Amino acid sequence: MTVTGIGVVSPLGRKLDEFFDALVSGRRGLVRPEGDHPAAGWLASAGIAPPIDAREVLPPREGRGVDRFLLLALAAADDALTDAGIVVGQDVDPRRVSVVVSTGGGGLETFEQQSHRRLERGRPGVTPYLLPGMLTNMAAARIAIKYGIRGYSSAITTACSAGAQSIAEGLRLIRGGQADVVVCGAAESPLHPTIASAFDNARALSEGWDDPAAASRPFDRRRNGFVLGEGAAVLVVERAEHAAARGASGYADLLGWGASTDAYHPTAPRPDGEGAADCMRLALEDAGLEPSDVDYVNAHGTGTKLGDVAETVALHAVFGTRQPAVSSIKGATGHLLGASGALEAAATVLSVARGVLPPTVNLDDPDPACDLDHVRGSARPGPVRAALSNSFAFGGHNLSLLFGPAGSPGPGGVSAG
């Protein structure tokens, strides 16, 4: 299976080249919310994506009461399908197209706003457009409606692994013969007071930094929490033979995936990293590859004390003394919760396609407990034979995706895709 289209709306921009060039150059996209931003005064640092006008992605009457996470998802899907050069109904049978676009929390800000209106005005204060404007399945549903997609449609809500799991579902659908094309990814817009307060009261957020761009510090000795971000990423994944038949070239192939559950704690990772290690091994097994075949890992790397060490332990368990290059883009983008895995998968695909590994920004003093082959300071040239993208979530949901160069042999590649 090959990735033929990518769309992103991120704290580093919306254009694909702008996004990846910013990652490679080490530009940081974190700022302090100010002015009339909903999170102003509630977050000291945040990854804020570009504004999306409802009229840009929906007909005028359909944009009423639509939560921002849906607008982000639609914008990313628009760009991904344009990038892939696919017209549903012309280049592919609508019944052979699936859409799996997910979120961690969905339209929580819209729900909160309507709850306030009910308290203030009673039943008449609640808009009749509330449910279609904020339900977690509505990103997938509205993309399907907009493009006439008639195949399987779903949304996955496994917290911070939702985006990666949506892409894995795309691989499952194509391998199972249920689809030729899958539009998959995730969107999240958590930058509002209630979510900010919840994470802050849980002492999960980075604090104490005068420069908001310095607050997200994966694997750094001085890291003290993550930074909330918002955005969306959508990939168009396609059966390799279908892409070849229409003359489309892929960025990279999705070779395998692995999933596991920590079964340990609602929010903390297993300190021994066993769950994370399991899903990486399963991804390698699914792709028919050995650990020595992997040149790069795009880490989950949130910048939390426990999480970064647990992921390090897992990487040592899987790769032993031959550690692949490792970086986390969350230093530049913040943590997009349910959308993080999709955005990081997009970055991993581009790393494979362009043969360059983005650095972990703000990694000034690596924690000795995170003794990995960090890409830091500047980008590192490839080539990349295989790359893992890791996503780990509250609840112990672990997901790893394995990508290789376009035309890779094996499951998901040209010879088997």
3-state secondary structure of 153: strand
Q: Given the residues 192, 335, 374, 397, select the one marked as catalytic.
A: 335
Active site residue 335: yes
Which DSSP helix (H) or strand (E) runs through 25? Answer: helix 16-25
Buried b (16+ CB within 10 A) or exposed e, 47-67: bbbeebebeebbeeebbebbb
Residue 65 corresponds to which tokens in the numbers above? 């009461």
Q: Which of 300, 370, 374, 397 is catalytic?
A: 300
d(C-alpha 277, C-alpha 282), whole Å: 9
Render 184-238 in DSSP notation, one character per residue. EEEEE---SHHHHHHHHHTT-B----SSGGGS--TTBTT---B-BB-EEEEEEEE
Helix (H, G, I), strand (E, B) or coil at 108: helix
Q: CA quadruple 13, 15, 20, 26: dihedral positive or negative? A: negative
Residue with tokens 């009673």: 122
CB 275 within 8 A of CB 252: no
The strand pair at 97-102 and 325-327 is best described as: unpaired
The rounded distance, in Å, linking the Cα atoms of 406 and 413 is 7
The question of whether 370 is a catalytic residue gets the answer no
Task: Report, as residue numbers or ranges, the catalytic residues.
Answer: 160, 300, 335
